Amino acid sequence: MSHHGTSAPDSGPARPVTPHDDQALSSPAVTLHAGCKVNLYLRITGVRADGYHELDTLFLPLPEPCDLLHVAPRPETGIAFTCTEPDVDPIRNTVVTAYERFAATTGFRPGLAVHLEKHIPHGAGLGGGSADAAVVLRHLAALCAQQAPGAAPTPEALRAMAAGVGADVPFFLMDGPARASGIGEVLTPLAPGELAGLGLAGMHLVLACPPIRVSTPWAYRAWDAANIPASGKMPESGLDPARDTPALTGNQTMTGQRAKSLRPCLTSESLEDRNPLSRGPWLTNSFEPVVFQTHATLRRTKEFLLRRGACAALMSGSGASLFALFRKPGTARDVAEALRNDNIAAFLHAL
């Protein structure tokens, strides 16, 4: 959801730190893997005076689809960026932004040639650009620790750089599911067992990536048009609490009573529970109504997933990807195959 990317002001350029040429060029060429994420739920809980949207969402990292970043040393300082996708701007992109922010903050500016092999689709709500930026920051931090240890950033400083590139980038520096609130910048890692508390342990997730792009800024504008009254003011209490009850308030975890109340919608075999959106308030995405109105194909794909036995299906982020949860691996495999036969990329994950 990089619509919410915020740039913190820099305190001025750091003094350049360059490793000895022989040391820099001896660092091996590497291939970095950047996975993606889905939003297990996403609620827009309000709009701030500055126009930024307050969110409550749960990020789940997935290993596939993944982008590959082929990184090799080069004699000149700075970054030379290329990409398999011709419409990725070679200068204004998250990888170059991440490199420049790291260099400006630490002064460490190694010569790197980065070739991005893009597999995470654009406009899919999977956070591909943010994931790419995060693996570059991590790689630069490792190189800096080896070649210019005095300039190496602390984990907190690295997170601050990530937040400056885009609101979703800090999440990809983490190694597990996390809840995001505020404008996406307040990240709380899930404690071990909390996903199981939601009834997700042993589930099979099918990720469907239809060949459609949805622009995040457009999705926010469409949501605003549908939800903000003509006066331009949000209702005093924010959104309708009956319709948009947050799954968590404050520092509550998902393990107690709420998890008990959510579990039946994922484990019951009865037909009326097949679609838990009626029973599981956490399985909601505020963008679905406006995105489905414009992209009926996505609504039909969701209906197909539910019809084929998914106990839940939801759009991720602002779309266009959707995911579905299945109890039986065989059903999940069959559905993934049916999607591929319909020219929709599909990925299978065991949770």
Q: Is 260 designated active site?
A: no
Of residues 22, 37, 56, 334, which has the active-site annotation? 37
Number of CB atoms found within 10 A of residue 319's CB: 26
Rounded Cα distance, 208 and 335, in Å: 10
Of residues 56, 67, 132, 168, which has the active-site annotation? 168
Rounded Cα distance, 15 and 13, in Å: 7
Those residues whose C-beta lies under 8 Å from the C-beta of residue 180, and which sit 6 or more positions away, are: 55, 56, 57, 58, 59, 171, 186, 187, 188
Name residue, tokens 């197909």. Answer: 304
Rounded Cα distance, 317 and 57, in Å: 9
**Would you list the DSSP string of 116-175?**
EE--SPTTSSS-HHHHHHHHHHHHHHHHHHHH-GGGPPPHHHHHHHHHHH-TTHHHHTSS
CB 329 within 8 A of CB 204: yes
Number of CB atoms found within 10 A of residue 65's CB: 20
Query: Whose CA is closest to 3, among 245, 159, 214?
Result: 214
Q: Kindly report the backbone phi and psi dihedral angles of residue 228, in degrees, each rounded to the nearest multiple of 5, phi listed first.
A: -95, 125
Q: Is 302 designated active site?
A: no
Query: Whose CA is closest to 44, among 202, 221, 174?
Result: 221
Rounded Cα distance, 163 and 28, in Å: 28
Determine whether 163 is exposed, middle or buried from the number of CB atoms within 10 Å of its CB (0-12, 13-18, 19+): buried
Start-to-end CA span in the chain (Å): 23
Count of helices and strands (H, E) across the chain? 11, 10
Catalytically active residues are 37, 168
